[in-house]
Chains A and B, each alone.
Chain A
């Protein structure tokens, strides 16, 4: 009797053990297999002299512009600028006490391709008149209660630091001839989620802009190709453009239907460039418009029922330039009262892929200074169907 009972319990126990083992072994162990994350250490503490010098030696085409008919500033060639008057209360320059200044002063907003549309960073120059060349210094900027988390670069008249992952680049110069201070301030916001190393590299590029402001004797440089741009641009900007064009590349090769268009969204949810996969009619309309611009006979057509790549309007005057396989179309409103109107530029580039013609088009109203960047970019893409160069592959 005892034997029978113990046998019964043994069997039950055995079944329990087997089933429990099945319960635990039945599932595969979940392992984190995502090893694609960037595991490189991002704990850079300062900008090395070698890195600083390397960036300072890079090519940067410049131009000199006249501000408020009084001040000459040298800025990157592919930059625009907007001038406005600001009061000291509207401006924060580190810890510098602007209350000492009792008048409004000029603020110049520099608009590059990346600062203007997508707000990757901002660049401002303030012109503050003063007879005392020692009135403001980097030491003033650092002193006081303003939080500075880490200083990555500092020299006699410049500083790069971060504050809660927002990177600031400041430069202070005194213009002896005009008796004024030039304050340069650039900011890369914490909302831009990029590796610290890349933000810092970009900050040094921006410092280079600052250090060029009063330069008068500079070589007339220009970028010869997209490769040339890539080798001289901040890594963060190169990666940003490549990420956008990875989508354009996939649209071209796999996704875009005929008679459709696409403008991939940027990380800040803007558009950057558009790709068209036009029907024969739409493509023929495009070339008709181009021919009208070539012969300078603008006749508005009724394309209302069709998709339009280049819409021309007799209210504008147009200029067409052909360069590196691209059409650069500039238009400005016809003004009768002597005012000069803003000129906007659009770059178009036919891309023939597997016998089919696509059209790349800049999606924002650019100013003429931005055009060259897109001409070189589109031209490279039309030949290689990717923007990745041998340096970035």
Chain B
């Protein structure tokens, strides 16, 4: 009876054992105004590099205006210069929401403030390698939010190859 289910189950298992988003090549923590780079990446023609933005945002800090510019270089020449679409919601993975709290003291006494932290990875750009060679990926976070607090967004770039 269960024979009919066996093959589909094993078939699904065979795919779930793989990493469907590709092999992770580099994780780069972004710092405002600084260029961070993944250099000397040996890539083959036809490799597809997906640039994921890992965002950790807090409900305490909304309305943050930031953008991430990036540049891809081969043999010292820029081959792609653009901004990342960090708010794309088409393909979001590893999303989780956690509740955090901190104590606040005021004249009316101490109180606990609760807030949520939303962490997720969003697919921001796909890049198909045109030729075999060594590539550099540069990213720069430009955060123009007027107030930056302890709970500000944390951003990282994850490069994956598929």
Contact = CB atoms under 8 A, between A and B. Distances in A.
B11 interface: yes
B84 to A, nearest CB: 13
Contacts of B14: 19, 22-23, 26
A118 interface: no
Interface residues of B, number: 28
Contact of B7 (A19, A23, A34, A254): A19
Nearest to B14: A22
Contacts of B3: 8, 11-12
Given A26-B18, A254-B138, 19 more contacts: A8-B3, A12-B6, A15-B10, A22-B10, A23-B14, A23-B17, A26-B14, A27-B18, A28-B18, A30-B23, A34-B40, A36-B39, A36-B40, A36-B41, A247-B35, A254-B71, A255-B69, A265-B31, A265-B34
A209 B56 CA distance: 50
Given A23-B17, A35-B42, A262-B33, A254 B81 contact: yes
Contacts of A15: 6-7, 10
Interface in A19-50: 19-20, 22-23, 26-28, 30, 33-36
Contacts of A35: 40, 42
A46 B98 CA distance: 56
A366 B78 CA distance: 34
When A and B form their complex, which 7 residue pairs have the shortest distance between CB atoms, in order from nearest?
A: A36-B40, A19-B10, A22-B14, A27-B18, A254-B71, A23-B14, A255-B140
A15 to B, nearest CB: 5
Contacts of B11: 19, 22
Interface string B127-153: 000000010001010100000000000
A151 to B, nearest CB: 35
A16 B3 CA distance: 11
A94 interface: no
Interface SS, A side: helix
A250 B42 CA distance: 21
7 contacts: A19-B11, A20-B10, A23-B10, A26-B15, A253-B78, A254-B71, A264-B35
B19 interface: yes
A257 interface: yes
A251 interface: yes
Contacts of A265: 31, 34
A33 B24 CA distance: 11
